[in-house]
Amino acid sequence: MADDSERRTLLTAAATLTAACLAGCSPADPAASPRPAEPPSAAPRTPEAAYQRLMAGNGRWVSNALRHPDRDPTRRQLLATGQQPYGAVLSCIDSRVPPELVFDTGLGDLFVMRSGGATLGPVITGSVEYGPMTSGTPLIVVLGHQRCGAVSAAYQALRADRPLPGNLQAITEALRPAYEQAAAERHADPADTMARAQVKLTADALRGNQDLAPLVAKGTLAVVGAYYSLDTGEVETLNGAPV
């Protein structure tokens, strides 16, 4: 009888240990199974919704509450045969102002164009037009930023009437209207004033573009001028916010 009792005790302990192991290694255990990918987010299709989505993303960037949305294999596969970004961002080439990070966006969310000082030219303008004219992209953002090296260099060159070398002078000339506006306003930080003026002038030019203006008039497109703070990470809207 003692042997049968000991045998039953050993079998019961083994069964308990096996069950515990299976439970600990079960796919139902969150620690033992990979986290499922979040479903792709639906792209906003109105200027108001697109603007709110971008600004909410910037709020997460500022508060360090990033979601890193739309950055998984499911999203990559979904976009393999087509795209429909909800925003187009024209920003400066500055390495500290990557729009996809600043707005906490992912694959397929934004068309991004970058040029020194967010200046326009035929190729850049055509690139900005591409999304609204071919994909129904409802929002364009012109994004300038604090302590812009291109703007500061152009300001100094124009003030001293000393051309910059090579094709850098082309950037300087594209920034001349913003320089003239800043010089007339006589603020304490003229280069920063010039950077903000450049954003507004560029946004105004795109808003009045012969191909984009009809979309703006219909209310299917908004062109927003914005300014990024290197100190805080916050994007400030300067003009054109959809209401």
pLDDT tens for 63-75 read 999 999 988 898 9
- The DSSP bridge partners found for residue 228 are 145, 235
CA distance readout (Å), 234 to 60, 148, 157: 10, 15, 29
Q: What is the pLDDT of residue 186?
A: 85
Question: Does pTM surpass 0.85?
Answer: no
Count the Cβ atoms, other than its own, within 10 Å of residue 174: 21
Count the Cβ atoms, other than its own, within 10 Å of residue 54: 26
Q: What is the average pLDDT value for the chain, to the nearest integer?
A: 88
Q: Each residue's pLDDT tens digit in the chain (243 positions)?
A: 445 555 554 444 444 444 443 344 444 444 444 444 445 568 899 999 999 999 999 999 999 999 999 888 989 998 899 899 999 999 999 999 999 999 999 999 999 999 999 999 999 999 999 999 999 999 999 999 999 999 999 999 999 999 999 999 999 999 999 999 999 988 899 999 999 999 999 999 999 999 999 999 999 999 999 999 999 999 999 999 998
Cβ-based burial of 195 (10 A; exposed 0-12, middle 13-18, buried ≥19): buried
SS3 at position 81: coil
Q: What is the pLDDT of residue 14?
A: 46
- Provide the H-helix boundaries in 84-189: 99-102, 122-130, 149-160, 168-174, 176-185
Q: What is the pLDDT of residue 43?
A: 85
